C-alpha cells in the first residue's frame, strides 16, 4: 500500500511493497516541504509552472536528499501525453537537471542501471511505478487520459520484456495518487471512445460522464500478466491541500513527481 512519510518537513508517499524489496529508493511527492511560493507553494517540480528555475532545482535537491538519491543523476522526461517509452542508460544520467536533455516526446522511462533516478511529472495524471524484482529493472509512466487510452502501461511492460528479459509475473506495479472518477468529467466523445475500447463498466454517469482511469490502468497491467498491483486510491482533486491538482486548482498549480532509482 501507499503510505505517507515525513522527513525534514518534506511529506511524501512510498509503496510498502517496494520498500520491503530493498531494491529501490522511490517516492511520490506532495506539495509540502519545498521553497516555492504563491500558486505553486511549496514543493513544485515543474519548470514550466509559475516558478523560478532556482526554486525548482532547490526542490529537486530537497527531495533527492530526503529519499537518498543522487541529485546530479536525476533523469527527466519531456512529457507530451503520448505513449512512448525510453530506455535510460548511464549516458542519460542528469539529463534535464545537470545537463541538457535530448529525451523528447517521452512519457515513460525504464532502466536497469543502478543509481540513476527516473522522474516523471504529474498534477492529476496517473503515476505508474514498475519494479521487476527478478531482473532488477524499473520503470515509471505518466499515464494521462491519452496515455491510458493508448495503453502506455502495456508499452512499458513490453519494453521491459524486450530490453531486460522481464517476466510480468515478477513485476510489482503501483498506481499513485491522481484524479479519480469522482472528478474526472469528460465529454461524450471521449467517453464513447473509452467505452468502445475498454467497456462501459469504466464509464460512470454523474451529470456528465466520468471515467474510472485507475481501474483501466490496473486492468491493462493485469492483462499483461502483472500479479501485484497496488492502488493508492487517493484523489489529487479531493486532496488539494496535499497535492497539486491541475483541474482542482483551475490550472494554476505546480507539478508533483514520481521518482525511483535502483540501489547500487
Confidence band, pLDDT 50/70/90 cuts, at residue 166: very high
Residue 242's domain spans which residues?
2-181+229-262
pLDDT per residue over 107-128, tens digit each?
999 999 999 999 999 999 999 9
Asked whether the CA dihedral 195, 197, 201, 202 is positive or negative, the reply is: negative
- Kindly state whether residue 86 falls inside one of the protein's structural domains: yes
- Kindly state whether residue 163 falls inside one of the protein's structural domains: yes
β pairing state of 171-175 and 228-231: parallel
| Cα–Cα nearest to 111, from 59, 150, 73 | 73
- Kindly state whether residue 125 falls inside one of the protein's structural domains: yes
Question: Is-contact 16 1, C-beta < 8 A?
Answer: yes
- Kindly state whether residue 83 falls inside one of the protein's structural domains: yes
pLDDT per residue over 147-161, tens digit each?
999 999 999 999 999
CATH number at 240 reads 3.60.140.10
- Kindly state whether residue 19 falls inside one of the protein's structural domains: yes
Provide the mean pLDDT of the chain. 98
- In whole angstroms, give the CA distance from residue 115 to residue 260: 9
- A 10 A CB-CB count for 20 gives 9
- In whole angstroms, give the CA distance from residue 103 to residue 79: 9
- Average confidence (pLDDT) over 30-53: 97
Can you give the pTM of this predicted structure?
0.98
Query: What's the total number of domains in the chain?
Result: 1
- Kindly state whether residue 191 falls inside one of the protein's structural domains: no
- Kindly state whether residue 213 falls inside one of the protein's structural domains: no
Amino acid 187: pLDDT:
97
pLDDT per residue over 172-216, tens digit each?
999 999 999 999 999 999 999 999 999 999 999 999 999 999 999
Question: Is-contact 137 111, C-beta < 8 A?
Answer: yes
DSSP secondary structure code for residue 35 in this structure: S
**In the chain, at which residue ranges do the beta strands (DSSP E only) sit?**
2-7, 10-15, 24-29, 75-76, 85-87, 108-111, 118-122, 126-132, 137-143, 171-175, 203-205, 209-211, 228-231, 256-262
- Kindly state whether residue 219 falls inside one of the protein's structural domains: no
Amino acid at each position: 500500500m501507499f503510505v505517507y512519510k515525513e522527513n525534514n518537513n518534506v511529506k511524501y508517499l512510498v509503496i510498502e511493497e517496494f520498500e520491503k524489496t530493498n531494491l529501490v529508493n522511490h517516492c511520490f511527492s506532495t506539495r509540502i516541504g519545498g521553497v516555492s511560493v504563491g500558486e505553486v507553494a511549496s514543493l513544485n517540480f515543474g519548470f514550466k509552472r509559475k516558478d523560478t528555475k532556482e526554486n525548482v532545482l532547490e526542490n529537486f535537491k530537497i527531495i533527492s536528499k530526503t529519499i537518498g538519491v543522487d541529485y546530479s543523476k536525476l533523469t527527466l522526461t519531456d512529457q507530451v501525453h503520448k505513449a512512448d517509452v525510453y530506455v535510460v542508460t548511464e549516458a542519460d544520467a542528469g539529463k534535464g537537471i545537470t545537463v541538457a536533455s535530448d529525451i523528447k516526446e517521452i512519457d515513460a522511462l525504464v532502466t536497469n542501471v543502478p543509481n540513476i533516478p527516473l522522474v516523471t511529472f504529474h498534477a492529476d495524471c496517473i503515476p505508474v511505478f514498475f519494479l521487476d524484482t527478478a531482473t532488477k529493472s524499473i520503470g515509471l509512466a505518466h499515464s494521462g487520459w491519452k496515455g491510458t487510452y493508448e495503453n502506455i502501461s502495456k508499452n512499458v511492460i513490453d519494453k521491459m520484456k524486450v530490453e531486460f528479459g522481464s517476466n510480468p509475473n515478477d513485476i510489482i506495479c503501483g498506481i499513485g495518487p491522481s484524479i479519480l472518477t469522482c472528478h474526472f468529467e469528460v465529454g461524450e466523445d471521449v467517453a464513447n471512445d473509452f467505452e468502445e475500447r475498454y467497456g462501459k463498466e469504466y464509464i460512470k454517469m454523474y451529470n456528465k460522464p466520468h471515467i474510472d482511469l485507475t481501474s483501466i490502468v490496473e486492468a491493462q497491467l493485469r492483462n499483461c500478466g502483472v500479479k501485484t498491483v497496488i492502488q493508492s486510491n487517493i484523489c489529487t482533486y479531493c486532496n488539494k491541500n496535499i497535492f497539486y491538482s491541475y483541474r482542482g486548482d483551475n490550472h494554476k498549480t505546480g507539478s508533483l513527481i514520481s521518482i525511483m532509482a535502483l540501489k547500487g
